A and B are shown apart, each in its own frame.
Chain A
Amino acid sequence: MNPYDDLSNDAFWKTAVSTKHPLDIEHLWTPKFNLLPRHKVVTFGSCFAQHIGRALKSRGYHWLQTEKPPVNLATPQKFNYDTFSCRTGNIYTTSLLKQWVDWSCAKREMPDESWSENDRIYDPARPRVEPNGFRSVDEMRTSRKVTVEAFRKGIESSDFFVFTLGLTESWFSSEFNYEYPMCPGTAAGVFSENEHYFKNQSYSFVRSHLLAAIRVMRAKNPRLRIILTVSPVPLTATNTGEHVLVSTIYSKSVLRAVAGELSKEFNYIDYFPSFEIISSAPFKGMFYEPNLRSVNHNGVDFVMDAFFSGLYKKFGEPKSLAKLSSSSVRSDKHADLICEEELLDAFNTKPSEG
Chain B
Amino acid sequence: MAGLYRVALDKSIDNIDFFAAGLDLLRDISHIENELFFKDTSRAFYSNTEDGNVTLNQYEKIFVYGCQVVSKSGGKYWFDNYKDSASGLYSAECIDALHEQSLHDSIGWKLVGLIRKAGYSGMLYLIPSPLPNERHPYLSSFDAVESVDVLLNIQSLYDSICEKAGVKYIPLPTALLASNGYATSEKFLNETSEENSDYAHLNKLGCEVVYDSVIYPETLG
Given A70-B81, A71-B81; A139-B97 close (CB under 8 Å): no
Q: Are B92 and A146 in contact (CB under 8 A)?
A: no
Instruction: Tell me if A135 counts as interface (CB < 8 A to partner B).
Output: yes
Docked-complex contact B91 and A79, CB < 8 angstroms: yes
A143 with B91: in contact, given A70-B81, A72-B70 (CB under 8 Å)? yes
Chain A interface bracket (under 10, 10 to 19, 20 to 34, 35 or more): 10 to 19
3 interchain residue pairs of minimum CB distance: A142-B88, A71-B77, A70-B81
* B65-121, CB < 8 A from A: 70, 72, 77, 80-81, 84-85, 88-95, 97-98, 101-102
Per the 8 Å Cβ criterion, residues 29-84 of A in contact with B are 69-75, 78-79
On whether the beta carbons of A139 and B88 are closer than 8 Å, the reply is: yes
Beta-carbon contact of A74 and B91 below 8 Å: no
Q: What's the least CB distance linking B98 to chain A, in Å? A: 5
A130 within 8 A of B: yes
User: Which residue of B84, B94, B102 contacts A72 across the interface (Cβ within 8 Å)?
Assistant: B102
* Other-chain residue from A71, A75, A130 in contact with B91 (beta carbon distance below 8 A): A130
| Contact (A146, B101) CB under 8 Å given A70-B94, A71-B77, A132-B93 | no
Q: Are A70 and B91 in contact (CB under 8 A)?
A: no
Given contacts A72-B70, A79-B90, A142-B88, 13 further A-B contacts (CB under 8 A): A70-B81, A70-B84, A70-B95, A70-B98, A72-B77, A72-B101, A73-B101, A75-B97, A78-B97, A79-B97, A134-B91, A139-B88, A146-B88
Contacts of B85 in A (CB 8 A): 70
Name the distance in Å between A70's Cβ and chain B's nearest Cβ: 5
Cβ of A111 < 8 Å from any Cβ of B? no
A-B contacts at CB below 8 angstroms, number: 51
Query: Is A131 part of the binding interface, using a Cβ–Cβ cutoff of 8 Å?
Result: yes
The secondary structure that dominates the B interface is: helix
The residue that A135 contacts in the complex, of B77, B80, B91, B101, with Cβ under 8 A, is B91
- State whether B101 touches A139 (Cβ < 8 A): no
- 18 inter-chain pairs at a CB distance below 8 angstroms, sorted by A residue, are A69-B94, A71-B70, A71-B77, A71-B80, A71-B81, A72-B72, A72-B77, A72-B81, A72-B102, A73-B97, A74-B101, A75-B97, A79-B94, A130-B93, A134-B93, A139-B91, A146-B88, A146-B89
**Smallest CB separation, A142 vs chain B (Å):** 4
Looking at chain B, what size class is its interface with the partner chain? Answer: 10 to 19
Across the interface, A139 reaches (CB within 8 A) one of B80, B92, B98, namely B92
* B4-39 interface bits toward A, Cβ cutoff 8 Å, 1 = contact, 0 = none: 000000000000000000000000000000000000
Q: How far is the CB of B150 from chain A (nearest CB, A)?
A: 12
- CA distance in complex: A78, B98 (Å): 12
B84 cross-chain contacts in A, Cβ below 8 A: 70
Q: Which residue of A lies closest to B88 (CB)?
A: A142
Find chain B residues with CB under 8 A from A75 CB: 97, 101
Flag A157-174 by CB within 8 Å of B: 1 or 0 each.
000000000000000000
A135 touches B88 (CB 8 A): no
Bound CA span A72–B94, Å: 12
User: Which chain B residues border A79 with CB–CB below 8 Å?
Assistant: 90-91, 93-94, 97
Give the distance in Å from the alpha carbon of A134 to the alpha carbon of B91 in the complex. Answer: 7
